[in-house]
Amino acid sequence: MAGLFLPLELTLSEFLELVAGGMTAATALFAGLLLLGRDHDARMRALGLAIFLLATAVSELDELAMLGGAYVAYPHLAMVFWPVTVVIGPAILLYVRDMTAAQRRPLTPIRLVRYFWSVPAGYVIALPFYFLPADRKLALFAGETDGLELAAAVPLVLMATFLVIAFVSLVIAYRALLVHTRSVRNLFANIEDKSLSWVRVVLFVLSAAWIWGAVMVMWRFDNSLPGWQGLAATVLELGWVFAFGFFGVRQAAIYKPVEPATPSVPTGKYHRSALDAPRMQRIAGRVAAAMEERKLYRDSTLSLRQLSDEIRVSENYISQTLNDQMGRNFFDYVNAWRIGEACQRLAAGARILETAHATGFNSRSTFNAAFRKHTGMTPSAWRREPEVWPDGLPRPDTA
């Protein structure tokens, strides 16, 4: 029965490539549509990722059509969708910028052109191929390039354009993620679901996949393409598409849309601030009192905005005090109080996971990392043999 639907000359590797490619396209399409089905603000923040996934689905369907011989039967459909894939890199950059912006910028026509100009440019590049008659396209598929040099160069030019735009977009996106990580450390006490660390990992895998894709194209041009590479590349693509889809759908908003003002992120630009040293000392005292007396650090969702509302001091002043007076960002300052209480609880025989949750941590892994950073040892080691109290670590009352 399979012969009714698939070319009988397909090898096992090619058949498996078709299956993996179909799974990749379905996963990308499903995840992209899920992102587009969210409420307005969440949908617009994730629009870049949705476009990325849908463009990836189109790219994979194009590969499947080529592998299945559809373009030999219908030559005029060949390369119709190739220019769409050039948008993949800019779409990722759009996602990173919109997710990491405290106030999302509206998607104006100018902004659309800035991110997606590469699509019409790709179609312009492909014009020499599109204008060929069907028989000349078939000749090109068969490897005949006499008199077709310009059209034959189109795939290579499109691939080069894709790679340049994609890698530039990824570099800019990666730098934006580094800035964002520093930013959220000044705004939130827990950053597990706010740092977008999963994006950095997937971007690394994605870069490797694209480099591999470029190598594949070079192999195709000298007809030395190994039979296994197509399946390997498709499985790798399935992996990063699943990762982007899974984590992208789960990713919650980092900044709440109801916040009326952009959170103050300390950048060292405090030269216009009215704070002097005595006033910073008073603010530091109020912050410490809020931690000691009201145990604010036990709240796993504590943010700089909440602390500001609690002690009636502006976020910017608190940030300046923490950075300049104490030499810490908000994330590390709150974690120091948490670890201070955790040390006392563990020394008294409390269980590690129970201690982590009681002191404001959402998971044991983040608790272990913070504990090691502030004490130089693991919670288990401290629980067995409490050491001398670490310098600079608060010692709050655990009552």
- Check pLDDT > 50 for residue 344: yes
* Residue 274, pLDDT score: 63
Mean pLDDT for all residues in the chain: 85
Q: How far, in Å, CA of 207 to CA of 270, rounded?
A: 38
Residue 329 scores a pLDDT above 50? yes
pLDDT, residue 155, reads: 85
Confidence of residue 209 (pLDDT cuts 50, 70, 90): confident
Joined tokens for residue 305: 């905005």
Q: Is the pLDDT of residue 18 over 50?
A: yes
C-alpha separations of 20 from 3, 13, 59, 108, 234 in Å: 19, 10, 14, 37, 6
Query: What pLDDT, in 10s, does the model give residues 48-107?
Result: 999 999 999 999 898 888 877 788 888 888 888 889 989 999 999 999 999 999 888 888
pLDDT of amino acid 256 = 73
For residues 157-170, give the mean pLDDT.
Answer: 90
Q: Per-residue pLDDT tens for 124-135?
A: 999 999 998 988
User: Do residues 27 and 243 make contact, with C-beta atoms less than 8 angstroms apart?
Assistant: no
Residue 308 pLDDT > 60 = yes
Domains along the sequence of the chain with CATH: 11-250 (1.20.1070), 277-384 (1.10.10.60)
Looking at residues 244-271, what average pLDDT do you find? 67
**Percentage of residues of the chain with pLDDT beyond 90:** 45
- Give the pLDDT confidence score for residue 265 in this predicted structure: 47
- In this prediction, residue 264 carries a pLDDT of 47
Q: Which of 329, 316, 324, 307 is nearest to 373 (CA)?
A: 329
Lowest mean pLDDT among 14-18, 197-201, 256-260, 356-360: 256-260
pTM of the model: 0.82
pLDDT at 115 over 90: yes
Name all contacts of 382-390 with Cβ < 8 Å and 24+ positions apart. Answer: 382/343, 382/346, 382/347, 383/346, 383/347, 383/349, 383/352, 386/343, 386/346, 386/347, 389/343, 390/343
